[in-house]
Structure 1
Amino acid sequence: MTGRFPAELRRALIPFALAQFICSFAGSNMNVMINDISEDLDTTVAGVQVAITIFLLVMAALMIPGGKLTDRIGRKRCLTIGLLIYAVGALLSSVAPGLGVLILGNSILEGVGTAMLIPPVYILTTLLFTDLASRARAFGMISALGGVGAAAGPLIGGLITTVFSWRAAFVFQALVVLLIAVLSRRWVRDPLPPDPTQPTDPAGAALSALGLVLVVSGILLADNNLLLSVGLVVAGAGALTWFFFSMRAKERSGRPALLSTALFRDRTANLGMITQCLQWLMLMGTSFVVSAYLQVVRGYNAIETGLVFTATTAGLLLSSLAAERFAKRRAQRTLIVGGFLITVVGVVLLISLAFAWHSVWAFVPGLFVTGFGLGGMLTPSVNVVQSAFGEELQGEISGLSRSVSNLGSALGGAVAGTILVAVVGNRPGTAYALAMLAVAVAGAIGLVAAWFLPKTEPVRA
C-alpha cells in the first residue's frame, strides 16, 4: 500500500499507524480481562465497564481541545507529550492496587495522553500527504491499524493475561508507546511552525467536555436510577447545545472560539462524522457485549475469549488490505453504505447463531462478517471528513472528528454494556440479544446517514 510513497513519508506512517493501533487496542483489550480484573481488584463487571467507558469518554471530551493545542505548541511536540503521558498512565495501571488507581492510570492519564497524541497524527497525515489519492492510502493504513487494534485487542490482551497477568498488558502498552516516541522523534517532521499566539477557549473546552460527560454518565446510570439517567442526558444535551450557540456568538463578536462553526455547516462532513461515530459504537459495543457474555455467562477465560475474536481481526484485516483496490473502483459513499449493510448482517448472525448453535463456533461467522464490514468503511469515512476542509481548519476538524469517533466508542460500551449488565443476572440470553439489537439499530441509523452522502467518483491514483 505504501510502496509508492517517498521513503520519508513511508517512515512517518509507521509511528502514525502504531499510535492509532495502540490507542484502539487500549479501548478493547480490557474486555477480555473483566473476570481477572474484577477478582484481583475486588470489584464487579460494572466497575470494569465504568473504567473502560471513562477512558473512552475522557478521549472524546478532550480530543477537541487536543486538536487546538497542536496549533499552539506544534503538532510533533503535542504528539510526544501525549505519548509520555500515556506511558505514565499505562505503567501506573500495571501496579494498580484497586479500581480507583486503575481509573486514574488507565481512564484518566491514558485518556488525556490519547487526546493529545491522536489529533497530531491525523493533522500531520493531512499536511504531509497533499493529494487526495495518497492521503486516502495513508488514512487507509492508519484506520486499518486502528481497527485491527480494536479487533485484535481481545486476542492480544487475552494471550498476555493468560500467559502472564492482566497487568502485563499495560506494560506492553507502555513499551509500544515509548517505541512510537522514539520513532516519531526520528522520522516525523512538522511542516508548519507552532503559533504560541493562537487564542484559546478554556470555557468552550469545559462546556463541551461537560456535555459529553453528562450524556454518557446518564446512559451508564440507566439501570440504577432511570429518572437521574434521563436528567443527566437532557442536561448533557443542553450543555452541548449551549456550547454550539456560544461558539457562534464568540465568532460573531470576534472572540476566540474553541471550534469554528464552519465545521458544522458542511453537510458531507457532518454525515461523515455520524458514520464515524456509529462505526466505532458498533465495534466497541460488539466487543464489550460478546466478551462479557462469553466470560460471565459461558465461563470462558481470557485467552479463549480472545481467540474467538480472531474472526473479527481476520475480517477487518481482509477488507482493510483490499481498501485501496475498493476505493479505486467504488465511490466512498458506496463503500460506507456497503460497510454498514455487511456489519448489520454480521450482528444479526451474532444474535441468531448464538441461540441456534450452543458452541463457541456460533460466534465466529458473525464476528468475521462484522469485522469485514467495519474494515471496508473506516477509511472512507475518515477521508470524507478530513478532506472536506483546508489546512487552516485541520487542527479543529481533526480534534472534532476524533472526538466524535471516541464518543461512539464510549456510547458503544455504555449503551450495549448497560443493557447487558442490567439484565444479565436473571435472563442472560435475553440481555445478550437486547444489547446486540441496540448495536444493530445503530448500524441501521448509520446506513441511513451514509445513504445521504453525496455521490462522488472513486479515488484514483
Structure 2
Amino acid sequence: MDKAPARPGVALAAVVTVVFVTFLDTTVVSVALGDIRSELSTDVTLLQWVVNAYTVVFAGLMLAGGSLGDRWGRKRVMMVGLVIFCAGSVVSAMASSVALLIAGRAIMGLGAAASEPGTLSVLRHVFPGERSRAKAVGVWAAVSGLALAAGPVLGGVLVDAWGWRSIFWFNLVIGAVALVVALWSVPESADPQPEPFDWAGAVLGATAFGLLVYAATAGQDRGYTSVPVLLMFALGAVAMAAFVAVERRARAPMLDFTYLRLPAVRSALVVAFAVYFGIFSIFFFTALYLQVMQSYSAARTAAVFAPMAGAIVLGSLVAGFWVSRRGARIPLILGCVLGAGGILLTRQALSGTLHDPWLAAAMAVAGFGFGVSVVPLTSAVMSGVPAEHSGMAAAVTNTMRQVGSAFGVAVLGALVSAFLSADLKARMTELGLPTTLQPDAIGAVERGRIPEGVDIGPYLRYLSKVNEVLATGKTAFHHGLDVALLVSAILILAAAAFTALDTERRAAKVN
C-alpha cells in the first residue's frame, strides 16, 4: 500500500505544516490567558484547563491515533484528524463561556491526536535512509520547536491586534491550508499486514492518562487528600496497570513494551517527558506571570519570547546535522544540560527588577537546549522501531511529550497555586482580614476582578490595604514560579543523568 512520493521535499513541507498547526496550539493560548481571564471571568485553575483540555486529550488518544494510522492508512487518519481540529477551532473561537472554550480545546486535542502521529511515521517512509531521515527529522523538530516557541509570539501579535478569539480563527486557516497541501502531496502508507485494532489498550490508555492528569489538576482546588482526588488517582493507577498488562499480552499491542528494552528508546522517552514538562514552566507560567502580575501586554510578551523561538529552530537544525553524522547520545545529553541551564538563567532573570533583554537572552538559551534535545530523542525512537510500526513509534514519542506538557502544567500549577494561596492567606491575616473573607479575596486576586455574587460590603473597611494585598499577590506568584522553574531544571538534569548512565551501563554489558 506504500507509495513513494515523486517529490519528497513537497511531502516534507506538507507534513511540517501539519506539525506546525498542531504544536502551535499547545502554546499559542499562553499569551491570551490574561484576556480570557478578564473577558470570561475565570481563575488560574480553569485557565490551566484551557491549556490542559488540549494536551490531556492529545496525550490520551495519541497512541490510538498512531495505531489507527498504521492499520487504516496514515494519510487517511491524518486528514480526518485535521478536519476535527478545524471544527474544534471554530467552537473555541465562538465560545461564550470558559466551559465552551474548554470543550472546543478538547475537540482540537482529539483532532491533533489523530493527525500528528502520522507526520513522523510518514517521514519514516518518505526518507528510508538513516542520514536523510535524520535531516528530515531535524526539519520536523525545527518546525515543531518553532511552533511551540512562536505560539506566544504569534499569539501576542494576534491578541494585540484582534483579540484572543483571533488565535483560533488563525488556527482554522492554517489547519485548512495543511489539509489541502497534505491531500495533494503526502503519500499513503500502512502496515502491509495489519493486525486487529487494540481497542482495550486504546480505552485503558486514554482512561489512565486522562484520570491521572485530571486528578493532578483538580487537586489544586479540592486538595490532594480529598476523597474524589484520591479516588481519581487510584482509578488512574489501576487503569495504567491494566493497560500495561493488556499490552504485554495483546497480539498487536498499541504500545509494544519490548522496544523499551532498547536503551536509546528508553532514554529518549524519559527525556521527552522531562523536557516538555520543563518547557511549560516557561511557556505557561512565565507568560502568565508577565501578563497578569507584571502587566505585560501581549505584544511585549511576544517580543520577550521571540529570541527563544529563533533559538529553538537553530538548535533543531544544528542537531539534525549532528545526529545524521554522529548519533543521538551526545546531543541528547547536551540539549538537556543547556535547556536546564537556560531555565535556571530565566529564574535568575525573573528575580528582582525585570530587564527584557536579559530575560529574552536567558529564555533563548533554554530554547536552544530544547531544540538540540528534540531531534535526537525523536530520531532514536524512530530508528529503534521497525518501519511497519512507525505510527506506534511516533505516537509513543509524542505521547510522552504531551504527557510531560500536561503534567508540567498540572504539577507546576499546583506549586504556583499553593504558594499563591498560602502567601496571600498569611499576609491577609497579618492585615487583619477575617478568615471568612479571605477565600473570595484570594479569588479576586486570581481572577483580576471580584467574583460574581460576592457582597463587597464587608470588604469596604479594608480598601486602604488593597494595594498591599495586590503586592503580596505578585510576590506570592513569583515565589511559586521560582520553585516551579527550579523543579523543571532539576527534572531535566535528572533525565540527562539517566541517559548518560543508562547508555554507559548498556555499553559496559556489550563490552
Q: TM-score, normalised by structure 1?
A: 0.92
Whole-angstrom CA distance in 1 between matches of 2:190 and 2:56 = 30
Partner of 2:75: 76
2:255 aligns with: 259
User: 2:56–2:403: 8 Å Cα contact kept in structure 1?
Assistant: yes
Shift of 1:454: 3.5
For residues 5 and 75 of structure 2, the distance between their equivalents in structure 1, rounded to whole angstroms, comes to 20
1:268-283 superposed matches below 5 A: 268-283=264-279
Whether 1:117 and 2:166 are equivalent positions in the alignment is no
1:329, 1:120 → 2: CA distance? 26
Q: Is 1:16–1:121's contact at 8 Å kept on the other side of the alignment?
A: yes
Out of 432-441 and 320-329, give the one that drifted further. Answer: 320-329
Q: Which moved more, 1:227-236 or 1:362-371?
A: 227-236
Amino acid at match of 1:35: G
- Alignment pair present for 1:67 and 2:66: yes
Shift of 1:363: 1.7
Separation in 1, partners of 2:362, 2:246? 44
Deviates more, 1:232-241 or 1:64-73: 232-241
Deviation at 1:218, TM superposition (A): 2.2
Partners of 2:147 and 2:308 lie apart in 1 by 11
| Residues 302-358 of structure 1: per-residue CA shift (max 9 Å, x gap) | 221121111211221222232334335643111011111111111111112221443
**Counterpart AA for 1:450:** T
Provide the residue aligned with 1:450 in structure 2.
499
Task: Give the structure 2 partner of residue 244 of structure 1.
Answer: 244
**% same residue:** 26
Residue in structure 1 matching 2:408, options 409, 412, 418:
412
Match of 1:184 in 2: 182
Residues 192, 221 of structure 1: CA spacing in aligned structure 2 closer, same or farther, 3 A cutoff? closer
Q: Is the 8 A contact 2:215 2:232 kept in 1?
A: yes
Cα distance in 2 for partners of 1:161, 1:315 equals 23
Residue 357 of structure 2: SS of its match in structure 1? helix
Aligned twin of 2:209: 212
Q: Work out whether 1:92 is the aligned partner of 2:91.
A: yes
Q: Does 1:354 align with 2:378?
A: no
Tell me if the contact between 1:71 and 1:198 (Cα under 8 Å) persists in the aligned partners.
no
Pairs within 5 Å for 1:266-305 = 266-305=262-301
CA pair 376-308 structure 1, distance change in 2 beyond 3 A: same
Partner residue in 2 for 1:129? 127
Asked if structure 2 preserves the Cα contact closer than 8 Å seen for 1:271 and 1:452, the reply is no
Contact in 1 for aligned 2:198/2:250 (Cα 8 Å): no
Distance 1:14 1:272 in 2: 25
- Bigger Cα Rg: 2
Tell me, yes or no, if the aligned pair for 2:70 and 2:390 is still in contact at 8 Å.
no
Partner of residue 368, structure 2: 372
Equivalent in 196, 200, 207 of residue 199 of structure 1: 196
CA contact under 8 A between 1:316 and 1:373: conserved in structure 2?
A: yes
Question: Displacement, 1:69?
Answer: 0.8
Deviations 1:9-64 (A, max 9, x none): 10001111111111111010111111111122222232121121121010110001
- Which string of whole-angstrom CA distances, capped at 9 and with x for unpartnered residues, describes residues 109-154 of structure 1? 1101001101111111111110110110111111111111111100
CA contact (8 A) 1:208 1:243 kept: yes
For the 8 Å contact 1:282–1:412, the answer to whether it is kept is yes
Secondary structure of 1:40's match? helix
Question: C-alpha displacement at 1:265, in angstroms?
Answer: 3.0
Distance change >3 Å, CA 104–CA 333, structure 1 → 2 = same
Contact 1:424–1:432, Cα closer than 8 Å, also in 2: no
- Distance in structure 2 (CA, Å) of the matches to 1:233 and 1:193: 36
Asked if 1:381 corresponds to 2:377, the answer is yes
Match of residue 224 from structure 2: 226
- Separation in 1 of the partners of 2:363 and 2:170? 25
1:315 equivalent to 2:364? Answer: no
Q: SS of the counterpart of 2:219?
A: coil
Compute the displacement of 1:293 (Å).
Answer: 0.8
Contact kept, 8 Å, 2:208 with 2:237, in 1: the verdict is: yes
> Is the contact made by 1:93 and 1:102 (CA closer than 8 Å) also made in structure 2?
yes
> TM-score of the superposition, structure 2-length normalised?
0.83
Matched residue type, 2:489: A
Higher mean displacement: 296-305 or 224-233: 224-233
8 Å CA contact retained: 2:216, 2:410: yes
Deviates more, 1:209-218 or 1:75-84: 209-218
Residues 168-187 of structure 1 deviation map (CA, whole Å, 9 limit, x = unaligned) = 11011111111111111111
Structure 1 residue 268: Cα displacement:
2.1
Structure 2 contact 278–408 (Cα < 8 Å) conserved: yes
CA drift at 1:428:
2.2
Deviates more, 1:281-290 or 1:147-156: 281-290
Provide Cα deviations, 1:91-126, integer angstroms capped at 9, x if missing partner.
1111111112111212x2110100110111111111
What is the distance in 1 between the residues matched to 2:254 and 2:290? 43
1:258-285 Cα offsets, whole Å, 9 max, x none, are 3333233333211111111112112123
Paired with 2:76 and 2:5, the residues of 1 have a C-alpha distance of: 23
CA contact (8 A) 1:272 1:453 kept: no
Q: RMSD across aligned C-alpha pairs, in angstroms?
A: 2.2
Q: Tell me the distance in 2 between the aligned counterparts of 1:399 and 1:331.
A: 22
- In the TM superposition, 1:318-337 aligns within 5 A as 318-327=314-323, 330-337=326-333
In structure 2, C-alpha distance between the alignment counterparts of 1:124 and 1:21, rounded to whole Å? 15
Question: Mind listing any 5+ residue stretches in structure 1 that lack a counterpart?
Answer: 457-461
Compute the displacement of 1:453 (Å).
5.2
Match of 1:397 among 388, 393, 396: 393
Q: Which residue of 1 aligns with 2:433?
A: none
Whole-Å separation in 1 of the counterparts to 2:391 and 2:482: 40
Alignment partners' CA distance in 2, 1:338 and 1:423: 32
Question: Is contact 1:289-1:436 (8 Å) kept?
Answer: no
Shift of 1:373: 0.6
Query: For the residues of structure 2 that align with 1:244 and 1:164, how far apart are their CA atoms?
Result: 47
